[in-house]
Amino acid sequence: MVLKELQNIFHIELDAIYGQHEVNSFFYLCTEHYLDIARIQLTLEPELAITKPETETFFKALEHLKQQKPIQYLLGGTEFFGLPFKVNKNVLIPRPETEELVDLIIRGHSQQNKVSKLKILDIGTGSGCISISLAKNLPNAEVYALDISKEALKVAKQNAELNNVDITFIEANILDENCHSALDAESTFNIIVSNPPYVRNLEKQEIQPNVLDNEPHLALFVEDDNPLIFYKAITEFAVKNLKPKGQLYFEINQYLGKETKQLLVDAEFEAIELLKDLNGNDRMLKGTKI
């Protein structure tokens, strides 16, 4: 089948769900992934044809996309901070807002990293996107990453190998105080970072069905009556496990900026900053332990 014809079928079937622009980008991601054919090649060779089995692969992908399965799960991978990451249903698909958090940390610590070996802990690592991008861009750092999910940690380990970085992975529940003592053995950290679950059940109606039906709820949701449960536990942990002048970084729920900031104020952190993402929403919080 001629690829251009196939592209038209994608538009006919999917434009109403995703819009023309996004369908084009899905199609090009598929041609790159399944055929190793770049977008430019398709433009230069409009009559480019593919075999029957290759066409069938595209039709299978089309069916999944019609059911709103995220393209990243379909292709088994995505890009974060310019690096390749494997993903599957056990890990959250890394988000652009989280790239902003990583960028903030790298900008804040690259000088310090040249003169001293930073010790970093990422809590709720998922695909490993935060810890791995930090390890890659702060090459002197000693990086630890924890998650409660064995399956997520399997993916994160593959991603560390894929990106050629050395990270110590720990399976632990940050809400369990015993886990805190297990981590004490690792001594104290210069940086603790976390993008923990923060979406309240009451916000579920704002979540796209493709997220709700496919991404792990363990990574996303918290109870309405205690939405800051992870931030409280991690702040408490950071008070004990950050070095003096060590820094705590959070990605946060945009609707709970003030309340999350208050946790750091109450824990006597200094230089606390609540920062907005590119969409103008409260999204990042940082503070320094006295």
- Please give the residue ranges that form the binding site for ligand SAM (CB under 6 A): 92, 94, 98, 124-127, 129-130, 146-149, 152, 173-175, 195-197, 218-219
Provide, rounded to whole angstroms, the least separation between the CB of residue 180 and ligand SAM. 11
Evaluate whether 41 touches 48 at the Cβ level (below 8 Å). yes
Q: Helix and strand tally (H, E) in the chain?
A: 13, 11
**C-beta of 61 vs 91, nearer to ligand SAM:** 91
| Between 3 and 132, CB nearer to ligand SAM | 132
Closest to ligand SAM by CB, 175 or 267:
175
CA–CA dist 183, 39 (Å, integer): 47
> Which CB sits closer to ligand SAM, 9 or 212?
212
Parallel/antiparallel/unpaired status of strands 142-147 and 119-123: parallel
> Cβ closer to ligand SAM: 125 or 210?
125
Q: Rounded to the nearest whole angstrom, what is the least distance from the CB of residue 72 to ligand SAM in the complex?
A: 11
- Shortest spacing between CB 93 and ligand SAM, in angstroms: 7
As measured in angstroms, the least distance from the Cβ of 45 to ligand SAM is: 37
Planar angle of CA 119, 133, 279, nearest 5 degrees: 115
User: Shortest Cβ distance from residue 147 to ligand SAM (Å)?
Assistant: 5
Residue 125: name the closest of 84, 154, 166 by CA: 154
Q: How far is the CB of 88 from ligand SAM (least distance, A)?
A: 12
Whose Cβ is closer to ligand SAM: residue 195's or residue 260's?
195
Interhelix angle 96-115/129-137, rounded to 10 degrees, is 40
Q: What is the dihedral of CA 142, 147, 153, 156, to 10 degrees?
A: -50
Q: Which residues pair with 250 in a beta bridge?
A: 194, 285
* Cβ contact 97:126 at 8 Å: no
